[in-house]
Amino acid sequence: MNPLPGTLLPNTPPALTAALADALRARAWRIATAESCTGGMIAAACTDLAGSSDWFERGFVSYSNAAKSELLGVDAALIDAHGAVSQAVALAMASGALARSAADLSVAVTGVAGPGGGSAGKPVGTVWLAWAWRQAAGPLQAEAVLERFAGDRAAVRQATVVRALQGLLRQAQH
């Protein structure tokens, strides 16, 4: 389902994106997104909000493994060792998005949206999300979380968008 121009994606609470915008503006922070399984949906949810150029710096759609390496600097050996849908790759994507942008905070998502592509260890609905942020005086910080979302492809992707926005908001409010 494609959203109508000028509307947030279906089931993306407008209040969530507006709260994120307010928190980012309050800190004078900008964000970057690194997306695989959502294919740009997080960036779309952010930029559907008027005035997002104040806080949305850029988005990377790195759907293929090659794109993860070329666009975000994810080491191909890391992907080979852990798989594209892994904590290590999600963290590398989030860190790469910060390294290749002027953003202060990033989110990365990599997962199995379905309907195919799942395995016993990584069934459909498996999504790794990672957030990375710059400290004013200190090293880059990052964290990742594994989610298992239920539903069809659209539901998994939409749940990933919402969870990514929630994590961005949490970090922006710290």
pLDDT in tens, 98-107: 999 999 999 9
- Strand-pairing partners, residue 34, are 60, 108
| Pairing between β-strand 56-61 and β-strand 126-133 as defined by DSSP bridges | unpaired
Q: Pull the structure tokens for residue 75.
A: 């080491």
Domains and CATH numbers, the chain: 14-172 (3.90.950.20)
Q: Pull the structure tokens for residue 173.
A: 């409010």
Whole-structure pTM value: 0.92
pLDDT in tens, 41-96: 999 999 999 999 999 999 999 999 999 999 999 999 999 999 999 999 999 999 99
Tally the residues of the chain.
174
114, 125 Cβ separation under 8 angstroms = yes
Q: How far apart are CA 168 and CA 171, in angstroms?
A: 5
Q: How confident is the model at residue 2 (pLDDT cuts 50, 70, 90)?
A: very low
Q: How far apart are CA 127 and CA 107, in angstroms?
A: 13
SS3 content of the chain, % helix, strand, coil (to 5): 40, 20, 40
For residue 150, give the DSSP letter: -
pLDDT in tens, 117-165: 989 999 999 999 999 998 877 788 999 999 999 999 999 999 999 999 9
Between the CA of residue 80 and those of 86, 128, 155, 161, what are the distances in Å? 11, 16, 28, 26
130, 143 Cβ separation under 8 angstroms = yes
Mean of the per-residue pLDDT values for the chain?
92
pLDDT in tens, 13-39: 788 999 999 999 999 999 999 999 999
Check residue 136 and give its pLDDT: 76
